[in-house]
Every structure is written in C-alpha cells, then in structure tokens.
Amino acid sequence: MEEEEEQVAMEPPKIHRLDESVVNRIAAGEVIQRPVSAVKELVENSFDAHSSSINVVVKDGGLKLIQVSDDGHGIRYEDLPILCERHTTSKLSSFEDLQSIKSMGFRGEALASMTYVAHVTVTTITKGQLHGYRVSYKDGVMENEPKACAAVKGTQIMIENLFYNMSARRKNLQNSADDYSKIVDLLSRFAIHHTSVSFSCRKHGAGRADVSSVATISRIDAIRSVYGVSVARSLMKVEALDNDPSSSVFQMDGFISNSEYVAKKITMVLFINDRLVDCTALKRALEIVYAATLPKAAKPFIYMSIVLPPEHVDVNVHPTKREVSLLNQEVIIEKIQSVVESRLRSSNETQIFQEQTVEPPSSSQMISSKDSNRNPTPSGSKSQKVPVNKMVRTDSSDPAGRLHIYLHAESRGHLEKNTSLTAVRSSVRQRRNPKETADLSSVQELIADIDSNCHSGMLDIVRHCTYIGMADDVFALLQHDTHLYLANIVSLSKELMYQQVLRRFAHFNAIQLSNPAPLKELIVLALKEGDTDPESTENDELNEKIAEMNSELLKQKADLLEEYFSIHIDKDGNLSRLPVILDQYTPDMDRVPEFALCLGNDVDWEEEKKCFQVISAALGNFYAMHPPMLPNPSGDGLQFYQKRKLFRNNEGSLSCNTGADDMMTEDEIEHELVAEAETAWAQREWSIQHVLFPSMRLFFKPPNSMATNGTFVRVASLEKLYRIFERC
C-alpha cells in the first residue's frame, strides 16, 4: 500500500533525447563486445579490400593495442573525413543490395563503433600514389587533417586502449585474460578458409607468430600449417551437393576427423557463403552422428564451407553477423548429416581392414576352433581368444557386412607390450559360414516386424527432439517443436536395446567380465529374490535344483549364445562375456541374476524365431536403463542410507535409547554407499543423454503401442504456456 501511494505521489520522470555520443557508445558496445570482435571486423574489412596478406599484432589481449595491416586496395583520400562516421560504407547503397551482398561488411558501423570505445589511427595508400596518409579518429570524427606519410601498399588500422571509457567492461576483460587465445583461434579459422591469403598473428614484441600461414591452393596444407600435422593427418574430405529448388540448393565441402582424432572439445569451423558463422543446429546434428558412429572420437574436428544462393541467407539477423538464418535449414542439415554419417561408417570399415594383417595360420586356427564348438566340449579352444577390449567390430549396421571380423593380437604378451599401438598385428577371423546368419529368415522377420510396426509420428519426435533432463527416476523431459513430452526411459531403452540386438545379431563386440560369474549361483540369487520371504530357508533345496538344471541347460546352449549373441558361458558354467549392444554402454551388473534366470527359464529353444525373440527381449530388459538398485540419494532416497545405519545400531545394542531415533545426524549416513549410489545415478544420467538419445535418433523405430501405453506423454504446449505467462 505504502509503495503504491509513493508511486502515485511521485512526479513522472521527464523523457529526453539521449546525447548522440551516448547512443553511439551504447551501440558501439554491442558491435565490439570484446577485443576479438574488433579483430574480426578489421580482418573482414581487409578481405573486402581484396587483400592477399593480413598481419595482426596484439598487446595485452587486445586491450592496449590491436593492429591489422593488409595489402588491399586502400582508402581514397577524399573518403577519409567520413570513414569513421556511423553508417558510412562503400559496400551497400540500397536495401535491395542486401539480398545479394557478397562482402563481409555492409553496415558501416564497425570502424565508427571502434572510435567511440578506443583510439583509432588509420594509415592507408591507394594504387598509383606516391605517399600515404595517416589520420586519427575519435567519436566518429577525424581528429586532425590527414598527414602525408610513407606507406606500403594497403591499409593499417591501429586500435589503442580499447574500452578506455567503459571501465566495467575493461575490468571484466582484464580479469579474463583469454582474449589473445580467442584472437588466435579466430585467425586460425580464417586462415584455413581463405587459403589465398597469407596470415600472421603475433603478440606485440614477440619474434614468433602464433598463427602463420602462406597462401596455398590446398586446403589440407593450410590446415596442416595452422592446426598441425596430427590434425591434418586424421581428416577426410566430405562433399555434398543439392540442386533441387523444391527442397534445397547448396554445395558443401569440408574436412572431418576420423576415429584417430581424439580431443576434449569439438572444433567446428563453419563458413556459410564465406562468412564465419555459428550454426548450433548443424553442430548438434553432427555431434550426434559422431557420438553414435565413433563414440571414442566423439569430439570431432570439422571444417565446412557451405555455399548457397545469397538470397537464401539472411545475414542481417545478428549485430555481429555471427548467426545467420538459412532457407530450408532443416533439409540442408539433414542432408549434410547423412553424408557425414556414411563417410564415417565407410572410413571406419576401411580403417579396420587396413589395420589387419591377415595371417593365415592363426586365422585358420580360429576357424577350426569355431568348428570345434560343435563337439561336446565347446569352449575348449576358446580360451586362446584375445581380450575383447582389443577386438574391433566391423560395421554391423551394414546389412552387407556379413563377414564377422575381429582384430586379434598375436598373443597376450605381445599385446601387453604394444597396447598403445593402434595397429595391433592382427588376423581375421572369418565366419565359418558367412552366409549363415544373414540367411536366418527368423531374424529378418523380427526386424521386418519392427519396421512395419513403427509409429511415424513418434519417429519424428524421437529424431528431432531435444533432451531437457530427467524429470524423475524414470521419466525424461523432451521438447519437440513447441511441445513438451515426458518419456519413459525404461521402456524406451528396453525397446531400443531389443531392436539393436536384432540388428547387430551375430555381429557383436564383447564386454569381458572381470570376474566370470557362476550361473548356478546367479540363478539361486534370482530365485531367492522372487521368494515371498527371502530370509527363509524353506525353498533352498528346490532352488538349488532348479538352478542346477537351468545352468546345465545353458551350458548346452553355450554355442548358440556365443555365436549369435556373444554371450559366453565357459565349460564350468561361468558367464564371462556379454555383448556390446550400444557402444560406450555397459549394463547394470546388479541385474545379471535376473537375466540368467530368464535365459534359463523363459526361452523356448525349439522354435527358432521365438527363441531369438525371447533372448533378445531378455537382453533388452537386462540392458535397459533402469533406475539403479540403490535409491537415488539426491531425493527422498537419502532416508534409505540413514535407516540402514540406525538399524545396525539398534541391532548392536538392544538397550539402546530409542531417543536416538530423532537425533539423526549427518554422521549416520553411510557415506561410501551414498557415493556409490551417486556415481551409479550420475553414470546413468550421462548414458541417457549421451548414449541413449543419440542412438535413438539414429536407430530407434518406436512401436505403435508406445503411442498409447504411457511411454510418451504430452505434458504441455509451449504456445499455450506462453499465452498463460503473457497474462501474468
């Protein structure tokens, strides 16, 4: 109430026109956000002046000095007086020109802006003149008449004391001393695109340049000289072209890294119509492809140049022209994504083939060992097998990939000495009968069932949604267009794993268990869990018997499980190997007992299709991203860890004062268990975001049933939410 009265009583403040210099300084702060933005504007001006050599010198991360010298066409003497006024440009006269603009600049704002936030000095000479001119500018105007001076071809612009009159900005930047590296990064990017221009960038007073490139005709040479030999070595060329006006018109060429390139961060150098820009959607699309195809090299180096008809690009959507918007962006991104994907897949294959040195003796040995699987002691010769983590899978998604090929090291000793070598000497294990699995019509039928039962609406959601985060232990929040959805992660992942088992059928890479697990004991465990009273010993004998029978049965089926599912059971009935269903993902081993029981109990081994279907479903259930068995300590689950401790205390001393119950202190939490639980939950969340969703985008075919069984629930339409908020 009081406040309202005060407002009513207050005189409205008078509106007045801002001083032109204030307006300009505010605008300048927008165009020139940091030293690196000034460098970008200056270097782009040099490109526009058709320079073939651009040299940059920087002092104090650009705050003291930025100096850009070029050998371009220079600036006319008569233009010098208005050079740094706002909206003076030689590049654009009518708005319509903007449609087809080819130059980097067009607003005539950059130089003007700089004069409002720094001291600007220009030295320039045009063709045919005997001497050049030097002149300084402040707040958009010439400070003095241009002075004649000696000059070499082109223009040199010096920016001194950037943000001298914006103390907050200057302080901020002084604290974050990384602008020099940003400038180096910027020039590196320019240097690999503008291969006909020589670049150098150095710190003031430094003898050595941090970026130095000479004009060359080869892009890969430029990349080598700027980013180094090892980057250049791991790059492959990619190209795409579309010329269908009804969908998209563009041309893309670029270089992308292969599986050898391992980095902490993605480097994406993108030029659209020769403009260095960001395109978040494209970047994300490519990241997904890498995560799914080369998970170990999932942070790629990508250089891409896309050329479109100028009228399809709106360059005027951002003050620093950093983001552009494109006509038919979605179509273009999808096309580029699929080109990159097939390039990665094919390179992955050839690389594996190249790395393999076929050694007939050992490969025939493998074949005969495979044959021996048919006799009653199946696993006899399998112990010679190579550690699975050294095996490399060929591309299983390729239906033509009927060769089952692994990389094998010669021997363990040899391998240990050379673990760091990627090109492990290897042999090829060829399937005994390569045609066999592909001809298994039962598996083909199961895959066809998945395809024919796919819900197209949900397929679109899965392909194009953005993962926002976990809403609770089971449901993830997704955004698709303007809608929000809750999606059941357990049922989604279960189905995805099932589908992937069938697609990778008989072509799995394997996970080696560090301790082989005795099937019988696992099954006993699972049976006990199913008992109504796990503490009682009543059923023990019966459980033992069932477990014994089941594990015997599985031992008999070891051949089939190994050959088609990469589930390895040794002759003593230990489970020692499991398949990789999604790269970079291992299942929760707490669920092994349940899985073992399911294999022993539920599979009908007589009917082929049914048998494969049930085993695949059992694997799907086992590998699904269930909530970890330990309750989530970040929510109500924390109680679980407190209670346990309390329970033990009470057990320890029966006479314990029950008053302790409500005196629960932090010390009574079992920290180790909490840490274990925290890791399990964090790992799961990571896998959901980085493995499950990227893989779903590529592979998942949502079955029709998911539309109605609560797997996907639409919770809100953002348009409506906005309308509600507007009213608030």
Q: Which does 563 bind (CB under 5 to 8 A by kind): ligand ADP, Mg ion, none?
A: none
Q: Does 194 bind ligand ADP (CB under 6 A)?
A: no
Scanning 105-113, 360-368, 415-423, 596-604 for contacts with ligand ADP by CB under 6 A, the matching segment is 105-113
Q: Does 425 bind ligand ADP (CB under 6 A)?
A: no
**CA atoms in the 13 A half-sphere facing the CB of 235:** 24
Give the residues lining the site for Mg ion (CB under 5 A).
Answer: 45, 105, 110
- What is the footprint of ligand ADP within residues 46-65 (CB under 6 A)? 46, 49
- What is the footprint of ligand ADP within residues 75-104 (CB under 6 A)? 75, 83, 89-91
Contact 37, 31 (CB under 8 A): yes
Give the number of other Cβ atoms within 10 Å of residue 556's Cβ. 13
Q: Which does 83 bind (CB under 5 to 8 A by kind): ligand ADP, Mg ion, none?
A: ligand ADP
**CA atoms in the 13 A half-sphere facing the CB of 106:** 20
CB closer to ligand ADP out of 90 and 704: 90
- What is the footprint of ligand ADP within residues 108-127 (CB under 6 A)? 108-112
Of the residues 24, 39, 60, 107, which one makes contact with ligand ADP according to CB under 6 A:
107
Angstrom CA distances, 28 to 20, 116, 186, 583, 621, stand at: 12, 7, 21, 49, 59
> Mind giving me the DSSP string for 463-528?
HH-EEEEESSSSEEEEEETTEEEEEEHHHHHHHHHHHHHHHTTT---EEEEEEEEEHHHHHHHHHH
Q: Which does 201 bind (CB under 5 to 8 A by kind): Mg ion, ligand ADP, none?
A: none
CB closer to ligand ADP out of 107 and 219: 107
CB closer to Mg ion out of 105 and 378: 105
Say if residue 430 is exposed, middle or buried (CB neighbours under 10 Å; 0-12, 13-18, 19+). Answer: middle
**End-to-end alpha-carbon separation of the chain, Å?**
20
Q: Does 45 bind ligand ADP (CB under 6 A)?
A: yes
Of the residues 155, 493, 574, 616, which one makes contact with ligand ADP according to CB under 6 A:
155
Which residue's beta carbon is nearest to the bound ligand ADP? 105
The CA distance from 27 to 140, in Å, is 12
CB closer to ligand ADP out of 111 and 285: 111
Nearest Cα to Cα of residue 550 among 577, 576, 526, 516: 526
**CA atoms in the 13 A half-sphere facing the CB of 145:** 2
CB closer to ligand ADP out of 124 and 500: 124
Residues in the chain: 728
Beta bridge partners of 271: 276, 305
Angle at 509 (CA atoms; ends 507, 515), nearest 5 degrees: 135
Q: Which amino acid is at 668?
A: E
Q: Which does 89 bind (CB under 5 to 8 A by kind): Mg ion, ligand ADP, none?
A: ligand ADP
CB closer to ligand ADP out of 212 and 316: 316
The CA distance from 250 to 210, in Å, is 34
Scanning 72-80, 284-292, 407-415, 561-569 for contacts with ligand ADP by CB under 6 A, the matching segment is 72-80
Q: Does 132 bind ligand ADP (CB under 6 A)?
A: no
Q: Does 71 bind ligand ADP (CB under 6 A)?
A: no
Q: Does 105 bind ligand ADP (CB under 6 A)?
A: yes
Q: Does 159 bind ligand ADP (CB under 6 A)?
A: no
Q: Does 226 bind ligand ADP (CB under 6 A)?
A: no
List residues binding ligand ADP (CB under 6 A).
41, 45-46, 49, 70, 72-75, 83, 89-91, 105-112, 155
